[in-house]
Structure 1
Amino acid sequence: MVMSLDSIEQQAPEDGLHGTASRLRPLPIALLVAGIYTIASVVYIRVSSSIAARLSHSVAEMQAIEQYKGIFFVLVTGLLLFVIAWLLLNALRRRDEELLRNRNVLISSERVAIAGIFASSMAHDVNNILTAIQGNLELLMEYGSPDPTHRTMLADAYQAGERLGQVSRRLMHSARSHTPGQITNLDLVPIIQEAADFAHSHQKVRQRHVSLELPDTCVMPVNAPMVTRSLLNLIINAADATAPGGRIQVVLDVQEKEVVLQVHDDGPGIPGHQLERIFEPFFTSKEDGNGLGLLSVRSCAQEHGGRVLYRQSPLGGACFELYLACNSALTPQSA
């Protein structure tokens, strides 16, 4: 079920990251343009016909004037259509170029972040194992063989473990320092809206009904790139778990000390025997999955002093809840 942002590379972009096009109202605009064109055409025909009737002195002159009038109308209409089409296509091209740039930056950020998350996770596990090994070595050095050679070997092993621990800690520090973005005071609502707009460029998401339930504003310390990436992963996962025409619901619940970003779907949910493993690195139920998407979401939660949980959704499928602390536990940096 886990699916990372890499899958977006294979999809044709439709919507810009800022969702400008998705907030337009095509039907009213099209009706307005058609109405203006119709009124202008009727006025032109009536006025030009009246002028032609006054200027012509015979049927032949009337026919000639009507012919020239028709040619002029076609030329002007064709020129207007050319200008409108050129402007629209240029706007679409610029928007697609902007989307492509934003998408490439986001995908590159995703890869760097995933590598850092995996390195940090592995270093953490190595530290845990080293702690147990060094504890046993200390006991052996204190209560083990009195033979000097054996004690020297134990001391060498202990020092080697210390050096390995230092390498592991440096790796963890390096992974954290390469986390994209920084914690700043931002409004979380437009970040969520932009991420949802961007997710709509994914082929599977376009075939689902995505709804947002958001407050008017929610200003808090937040790492915008990490939240955007996490929400993209969750929405794409939800789309992958539902059939075409399925429902995906994104909810932002503002509480006293934290906010909860929920992503619901009406799919089958996650089987009980997989629940304990869904946040493990490389665990996936998909043939083309890499098992790192939810690990990235968990890293985002940890960066914000929160957590990520799974529960059954009222829609009938899965619900992932990303908790983000909004208190003094996080130290915003100046933007």
Structure 2
Amino acid sequence: GLAHEIKNPLTPIQLTVQQMRDKYAGKDEDYQKLLDNCTEIVTEEVESLRGLVQEFADFARMPQLALTTQNLNNVITDTIKLYSERRIELDLESDLPDLRLDLEGMRRVLINLVENAIDAAGEKGNIVVQTLRHNGRVRLSIIDEGPGVDQVDRERIFEPYISDKQDGTGLGLAMVRSIIQEHGGSITVSDNPAGGARFDIKLPISEA
């Protein structure tokens, strides 16, 4: 596919620059430093481009959901273990009904939203992950104390290629919304009264 065609030249580009640096036998220290710096820049940009291409490819071929009966609270607690060095408050309703979920898809949703919350809240801002049975659905909320999301951007941020991050592709939240919609759910963003943003996901409760 297109992603493969873009990736193919990246390794030769990287290796060629590294060989140019390694083969230089001169004694010009300034030129050697220039070669080292250029090699480092090219290597970093190649890796960045690889990641970018992979993200586009992942979004283009979203896998079909493999729904199984899951306890959402367990999925959350297992995923949050990835962030053991960052305090994240869990406010989970104890008697949630089981849901039909794609386990890997929900993990991707949680990781994306939690990492966005960490970026927004910084090192000390509070982050809360909350579950609640609400109006016949289960609501999953990720709440942070960052700068929040402007009113005009609250629908646009779920569109592909829209990002307020300097190095973002704008595919993360688009992927999140796609996964949630495939579950028959919805996602919205609003103000956190304490300051910051609140992402609310509503998921249908499976009929027995």
TM-score (norm 2): 0.67
Q: Which amino acid in 2 is paired with 1:291? A: G
Counterpart for residue 7 of structure 1 = none
Tell me whether 1:316 sits opposite 2:200 in the alignment: no
Is residue 252–residue 259 contact of structure 1 (8 Å, CA) maintained in 2? yes
Pick from 45, 54, 72 the counterpart of residue 188 of structure 1.
72
Cα distance in 1 for partners of 2:78, 2:143 equals 18
Q: Which amino acid in 2 is paired with 1:310? A: V
Counting strand residues as a fraction of each chain, which structure ranks higher? Answer: 2
Is residue 149–residue 190 contact of structure 2 (8 Å, CA) maintained in 1? no
Counterpart for residue 229 of structure 1 = 108
SS, match of residue 209 in structure 1: coil
Counterpart for residue 57 of structure 2 = 115
Give the structure with higher Rg (CA): 1
SS, match of residue 152 in structure 2: helix
Is residue 253–residue 259 contact of structure 1 (8 Å, CA) maintained in 2? yes
Cα deviation for residue 249 of structure 1 reads 0.3
Tell me whether 1:254 sits opposite 2:133 in the alignment: yes
Superposed counterparts of 1:1-335, under 5 Å: 115=57, 117=59, 119=60, 175=61, 178-179=63-64, 182-198=66-82, 200=83, 206=85, 208-218=86-96, 219-328=98-207
Higher relative contact order (CA 8 A, sep 6+): 1
How many residues matched?
155
Cα distance in 2 for partners of 1:276, 1:229 equals 20
- Structure 1 residues not aligned, in runs of 5+: 1-107, 120-174
Is residue 154–residue 190 contact of structure 2 (8 Å, CA) maintained in 1? no
Is residue 183–residue 203 contact of structure 2 (8 Å, CA) maintained in 1? yes
Q: Which amino acid in 1 is paired with 2:69? A: N
**CA 1:295–1:304 in structure 2 vs 1: closer, same or farther (change >3 Å)?**
same
- Structure 2 residues not aligned, in runs of 5+: 1-50
SS, match of residue 305 in structure 1: coil
Stretches of 4+ aligned residues off by more than 6 angstroms: none
Counting helix residues as a fraction of each chain, which structure ranks higher? Answer: 1
SS, match of residue 154 in structure 2: helix
Cα distance in 2 for partners of 1:212, 1:290 equals 29
Cα distance in 1 for partners of 2:81, 2:72 equals 14
**CA 1:255–1:274 in structure 2 vs 1: closer, same or farther (change >3 Å)?**
closer
Q: Deviations over 1:218-238 (max 9, x none)?
A: 312111111111011001001
Cα deviation for residue 302 of structure 1 reads 0.8
Q: Percent sequence identity over matched residues?
A: 34
Q: Deviations over 1:268-321 (max 9, x none)?
A: 101233223211111111111111110111012111101110111133100011
**CA 1:307–1:115 in structure 2 vs 1: closer, same or farther (change >3 Å)?**
farther
How large is the Cα RMSD of the aligned pairs?
2.3
Is residue 159–residue 170 contact of structure 2 (8 Å, CA) maintained in 1? yes
TM-score (norm 1): 0.43
Cα deviation for residue 248 of structure 1 reads 0.3
Counterpart for residue 6 of structure 2 = none
Is residue 143–residue 198 contact of structure 2 (8 Å, CA) maintained in 1? yes
